[in-house]
Amino acid sequence: MSRASSASLHPGVPGDSGVSGTPDIPEFRFSRMESLLRGRALRPLTVDGVDAVFVRDPVLVRDILVGESKNYGKGELFRKARNLSRVGMLSEDETMHRHYRRLANPYVRSAKVEEYVPDMHGIAHRFVSSWRDGETVDIQSEMCRITCAIVVGTIITGLPPGTTDTVSERLSRLAWEMIRKPLYGKAAARAARPGAAKRLSRARAELRDILDVCIADLLNSPGTTAGYLSELLADSDGQGNRLLTAEQVCEEAVMMLTAATVTTASVMSWALYALSENPSMEEPLRKELARGGGGFDAQEQEQEREQEPGQGSSGYTRRFLMEVLRLYPPVWISCRKALTDVMLGDHPLPAGTNVVFSSYLLHRDPERYPDPGRFDPDRWLSLRPGQADASYIPFGIGSKGCVGEPFAWRQLEVILDVVTREWTLNTGPGHRVRTAPETTLHPRRLLMTPRPR
C-alpha cells in the first residue's frame, strides 16, 4: 500500500446548521469516512495526525480482535484517549489485564446481575418519579445520574447511605464530562488546555477524594467489606503482599465505574429517543417488559450466537435494544497497533502500524444490513451476530470485549421498563437531535418532555 493512496481523515464542519441557525459543532465526518472507504477492505489514512490503516472489512476486524489478537496491542489513538487508569484492567501488560478482568467478573456476571435487579428498579424509580408532567428533562444528564446510582449502589456495597449518594453524584458529574470529551482533532486539543479541562479535572478529583475516604475507612476497619473496592484491596501475591496501593485501587475503581456508566448512559439516551421517534414500538415493549422483560441472559446469548443464520432474537425488548446499539454504538471508533510484522488478510502490515476500525461503519454496512439507516428491530428476527466476522460489535469481541456486557444489558432493560411504565417522552416541535461522536457516540443535546401514562 503506497503512501500515494493515503488520505487525511479529520473532523470537519458539516454544511448544514441546526434549527437555531448556528453552525454545527465540528465533528468526525462519518459521510467522509464512508466515501473514502467505499469498496475498500482497508486504506491508509491519517487520523488526527497519526498514520494508520483504516479497516472496513468485518472479517479482517475479527482477525484483529480475535484470531490474531496476540499480534495487536493498544494503538496510539487509544492511548491519547485514555486518561483514567494505567494499572489493572487498562494495563499494557496482558497478564495484568486478564487478572483484573477476573477480579471484576464476579460483580458483573449474569447470575450476579440478576441479584441486582430489585435494587436497579428501585434506584431508577426514585429518579424517574421525580420528573414532572410537562417539565423539560435533559435526558442525557438524567441517564448519567441513574446509571451511576445503579452502578455504585450494586457494585460497591456496604457504604453508609449518605456516602453512596455522594459517590454516585460525583461519578455522574465525571461521567457527564467524559461523555462530552472530544477525542480527535482541534476540538480535542482545545479540550486538553488547562482552562478547558478544568471541569473534567475537578470532577475526577472530587470522585477520587470521596473514594480515597472510602478506601481509608476500609483499611482502618478490618472485616468491613465494600464489594468491588474490597476485592481490589484484598488482591495480593502468594506471600500475602497487597498488589495495588490505595492510590492504584482508587484509580482502578474510577476507571471501572466510569467505563460502566458513560457508555450505558449514552445508549439509554438513544433508546428513549428512538422510542419517541417510533411510538408504535411502545406497546410491544411495554407488554413484554410487564411479563418479566426481555431476558438478557448471557449464557443464552452465547448459545444464540452459535446458531445458524436466520434464527434471530425473539424477544422484542432485546431486538429493540440491539437495533439501538447497531445504529448508535457507544464505542464508535477503535485503534490497535501491530506488535510485529503481520498479514491482515492479503495485506502485509509492518510492526508499529496503527489499525483503525469503526463499529459505526461496520453496523451500517448495506451488504449486511439492508436500508442500514432505518430503525428496524425486526431485522433481528432473521439476522444474528455471527462468529465469522465483526459486523456487530457494540461491546467488542474477544479477550478485550466488555467485561460488563451482562450488567449493561440488564440495566438498559430495567431503566427502559421503569421509564415506560410511568411516562411517554417526546422531543419538542422542530427539535433536531444530532449525533456527537466524542468519547462516546451520544446525542448532541436531548431535551424531552415527559407525559404521564
Give the model's pLDDT for residue 38. Answer: 80
Give the model's pLDDT for residue 175. Answer: 94
Give the model's pLDDT for residue 358. Answer: 92
Phi and psi at 27, nearest 5°, equal -145, 165
Cβ 226 vs Cβ 154: under 8 Å: no
Cβ 47 vs Cβ 54: under 8 Å: yes
The per-residue pLDDT for range 294-340, each reduced to its tens digit, is: 555 545 554 554 444 444 567 999 999 999 999 999 999 898 999 99
Among residues 128, 405, 76, 109, the alpha carbon closest in space to that of 264 is found at 405
Give the model's pLDDT for residue 79. Answer: 52
Give the model's pLDDT for residue 281. Answer: 96
The per-residue pLDDT for range 154-209, each reduced to its tens digit, is: 999 989 989 999 999 999 999 999 898 866 655 566 666 666 678 888 999 999 99
Helices 316-327, 246-277: crossing angle, 10 deg rounding: 110
Asked if pLDDT for residue 86 goes beyond 80, the answer is no
- Confidence class of residue 24 from pLDDT cuts 50, 70 and 90? very low
What's the first-to-final CA gap in the chain, in angstroms? Answer: 59
Cβ 431 vs Cβ 447: under 8 Å: yes
Helices 246-277, 139-155: crossing angle, 10 deg rounding: 140
Give the model's pLDDT for residue 5. Answer: 44
User: How far apart, in whole angstroms, are the C-alpha atoms of residue 252 and residue 100?
Assistant: 9
Range name among 44-58, 66-80, 136-150, 368-382 with the lowest pLDDT average: 66-80
Cβ 55 vs Cβ 313: under 8 Å: no
Strands 42-47 vs 435-437: parallel, antiparallel or unpaired:
unpaired
Give the model's pLDDT for residue 186. Answer: 59
User: How far apart, in whole angstroms, are the C-alpha atoms of residue 407 and residue 194?
Assistant: 35
Give the model's pLDDT for residue 222. Answer: 81
Range name among 1-10, 58-67, 295-304 with the lowest pLDDT average: 1-10
Cβ 390 vs Cβ 41: under 8 Å: no
Asked if pLDDT for residue 12 goes beyond 80, the answer is no
**Mean pLDDT over residues 99-126, rounded?**
94
The per-residue pLDDT for range 244-270, each reduced to its tens digit, is: 899 999 999 999 999 889 999 999 999
Among residues 266, 341, 354, the alpha carbon closest in space to that of 78 is found at 354
The per-residue pLDDT for range 269-291, each reduced to its tens digit, is: 999 999 999 999 999 999 999 88
Strand blocks (E) in 31-123: 42-47, 50-55, 72-74
Range name among 8-22, 225-239, 334-348 with the lowest pLDDT average: 8-22
User: How far apart, in whole angstroms, are the C-alpha atoms of residue 182 and residue 442?
Assistant: 12
- Confidence class of residue 21 from pLDDT cuts 50, 70 and 90? very low
Each domain of the chain, given as residue ranges in start order, spans 25-134+261-452
Among residues 263, 225, 233, the alpha carbon closest in space to that of 251 is found at 233
User: How far apart, in whole angstroms, are the C-alpha atoms of residue 371 and residue 304?
Assistant: 24
DSSP letter assigned to residue 24? P
Binding residues: 402
Binding residues for heme: 402
Range name among 16-20, 106-110, 384-388 with the lowest pLDDT average: 16-20
- Grouping H, G, I as helix, E, B as strand and the rest as coil, residue 83 is coil
- Confidence class of residue 396 from pLDDT cuts 50, 70 and 90? very high
Long-range contacts formed by 25-28: CB under 8 A, 24+ apart: 25/187, 25/436, 25/444, 26/185, 26/186, 26/187, 27/435, 27/436, 27/437, 28/184, 28/185, 28/333, 28/437
User: How far apart, in whole angstroms, are the C-alpha atoms of residue 189 and residue 183?
Assistant: 9
Residue with more model confidence, 301 or 58: 58
- Confidence class of residue 292 from pLDDT cuts 50, 70 and 90? confident
CATH number of 25-134+261-452: 1.10.630.10
